Structure formats: structure tokens, C-alpha cells
Structure 1
Amino acid sequence: MTKINRREVMIRLSAVLGVAFTAPLQAGVLGEKIYSGPSAPVTPLQEKLVAEVADVIIPATSTPGAKAAGVENFILRVIRDCYVPKDQEAFFAGLDRLDKNAVSRFGKAFSALSADQKNTIVSDAVTGDKDFFQLLKSLTITGYFTSEVGATQALDYLPVPGRFEGSYPLKPDQKAWAL
């Protein structure tokens, strides 16, 4: 049996999820800190907004969603520890634009919107603020599927992997395997 290190798991996970791991994202997943200078301050409102938007990207279904997995903590840590101030400011400016769009369209902050209204605002960001949304989506997916909740409840989890079986029969409605 071959032992797989965390870096190899992340490479395989990125192939499965179709996530392009940038250097800051990979460093964040591995718990590394590649930026140690001053970070953009994060307000409690911004932290809540990250959690709410992440929960729209990965909502709770039969498994917990992004908010239940604490994905906002991962996202904010990666932004703080792995992105330079210019990129940090661009991320928080994107959050502000998303919240301002909610206020202009529905008269309420994003966090106060209904689920359908939140989906509308996020859909607007998919097309109107593509760079911001792609970064947030990538961080959300990576944070979720590398969290305990994502790896053990959303995916099947085999703590000690066995041998490779390339053609493994799946039962109806069986989840994909965590790597």
C-alpha cells in the first residue's frame, strides 16, 4: 500500500473537482502562509457575507452546506495569508459590489434576502463580476471539500485507502469517493 501525502491528495482533488489550483490557493490548502505583510481588515459584516455567499454556492441539501462546514474561515484565512494586499482589496471590493447590488435590486443587504433573491444576486455576479466570482467559487469549493464535513459527509470517506480498482461498480445513488 502506497502512502499519499497531502500535496498528492490536492492534485488529485483538483482533477476531480475541475479546480485550477493557483499558487495562493494551493498554499492555503496546505496551511502555508506565503504572504506575511499587513492584511486588509475584515469586518464581521464581511465575514458574514462570505459565509452567506458560500452557502448559496454550496447550499445544505441532504448534506451540510458551506456555512455549516465553516468555509468562510478557510476563505478569509487564504485571502489574508496567501494573497497580496492588491488582491485582498480586490476580493473585498467584489464582496462590497455584491452587497450593493443586493441593496440596489431588492432594498436589503445580501444577508437579509430570501434564498431566491440571493440566487439572483449570485447569478448576476457570475456574469457581471466574473473574476471575483470565479475566485470566490474556487475558494468555496476547495474549502468545502477539504473540510471534515465535505470530505466525510458530502463524499464517501475511506480513511485508509486500499488498492486501486479502476473499474469499481457503484450502487444507485452512491456518492463519489473522497480522495
Structure 2
Amino acid sequence: MNRRLAIKQVLIFAGGMALLPSCLREEGKVSIQLQHLDISATQEKLLAEIAELIIPKTDTSGAKDLNLHLFVLKMLDDCYDTKDQEQFMKGLKSFEGLEGNALKEQVMAANNEKPGLSKEIGDFYSIMKSRTIGGYLNSKYVMSKLLIWELVPGRYNGYFPVKTT
């Protein structure tokens, strides 16, 4: 047998085995691994839209660019108890089927705490908003590009004007 042919076939087989898990991924599942939550791809897309309504893209990156909806899902999966997770999922289900202006109006109503909204929507929105903002403020983008940190005690300025009393 030709050694070059054997090596070529082994490399092709190894490459195929490396790509196989990505081909077998279930369609319609969330793009990160969660242990306690069962989220579909459409629900993940909806969460991305809601996060983008909370922190929209302007001259800085928005929530969708920073994948903050995935941060919210991971925090909810790891740090919240089952009762809060169930309330979050019930609230998320009340947003399903809404698109565009209807979704925006519902999110703004939850943000303004308008009377008449269900408790599930309020619980969902409070978790979603707090985790989205927390994820944004602790993201690598904000910490490296928007906030400029100096080590303690800071820069020495020998020519700083001092007011006399």
C-alpha cells in the first residue's frame, strides 16, 4: 500500500471526525450548553431582540453584538433557583409571537411598569434587564474600550493647582 495514500486517508478521516459533532448538533437548540433550561433557537433569537431593545446599538456596541442574551441565559441557568427559572420561562412565553413594534411596545410597557401587566412579564423583565445591564457593564468591550482605569493611587501630577483657604 502506498504510504502517502494511507496518510492522506487518515488525515481526511480525522478531519471528518473533528467536524462530526457540529453536524450532529440538534437544530432548533440554543447555541450554548445549558443544564437546567430548555431554550429553543427562536426563543434565543427573541431574547436577543429584547436585549437589543434594552441596550440598543448606537455609536457603541449593543446587546446583540456582545451576545448579552447568552450571558443572561447562562446566569439564569447557573445562579437562579428553579422557581425563578420557571417564572422567567413563563414571562418569555408571553413575549413569543410578538415582532417589531408589538414587541417594542410590550418591552416598553414592562420597562415603565404599566398597570395591567401580568406578574410573569414583570418577573421576566426584571431578571432580563438586570442581567443584561450587568453583563454589559462587566463585558470586555466596556471594560477595555469605554472605561479607562488607572492603578491606585493614580497618576502623579506635580503641577496640580492647589486652592488656598
Q: Aligned-pair distance for 1:43?
A: 1.1
Q: Aligned-pair distance for 1:96?
A: 1.0
Q: Aligned-pair distance for 1:87?
A: 1.3
The unaligned stretches of length 5 or more in structure 2 are 1-34, 156-165
What does residue 138 of structure 1 align with?
130
Q: In 2 relative to 1, CA 84–69 (structure 1 residues): closer, same or farther, beyond 3 Å?
A: same
Note the 1:106-125 alignment, pairs <5 A.
109-110=97-98, 112-113=99-100, 116-125=101-110
Count of residue pairs the alignment pairs up = 114
Structure 2 length as normaliser, TM-score?
0.61
Note the 1:1-179 alignment, pairs <5 A.
39-99=36-96, 109-110=97-98, 112-113=99-100, 116-126=101-111, 127=113, 128=117, 129-153=121-145, 155-158=146-149, 160-163=150-153
| In structure 2, C-alpha distance between the alignment counterparts of 1:91 and 1:164, rounded to whole Å | 43
Q: In 2 relative to 1, CA 79–96 (structure 1 residues): closer, same or farther, beyond 3 Å?
A: same
Decide which structure has the larger Cα Rg and report it. 2
| In structure 1, C-alpha distance between the alignment counterparts of 2:56 and 2:144, rounded to whole Å | 16
SS of 1:52's partner is: helix
Q: List per-residue Cα deviations over 1:76-98 (Å, max 9, x = no partner).
A: 10111111222111111111112
Q: List per-residue Cα deviations over 1:88-114 (Å, max 9, x = no partner).
A: 111111111122xxxxxxxxx33x41x
What does residue 176 of structure 1 align with?
none
Counterpart amino acid of residue 156 in structure 1: L
**Paired-residue identity, %:** 34
SS of 2:125's partner is: helix
Q: Aligned-pair distance for 1:149?
A: 1.9
State whether residues 57 and 137 of structure 1, in contact with CA within 8 Å, keep that contact through their aligned partners in structure 2: yes
Q: Alpha carbon RMSD of aligned pairs, Å?
A: 2.0
| In structure 2, C-alpha distance between the alignment counterparts of 1:85 and 1:39, rounded to whole Å | 8
State whether residues 58 and 66 of structure 1, in contact with CA within 8 Å, keep that contact through their aligned partners in structure 2: yes
Bigger RCO of structures 1 and 2 (CA < 8 A, at least 6 apart)? 1
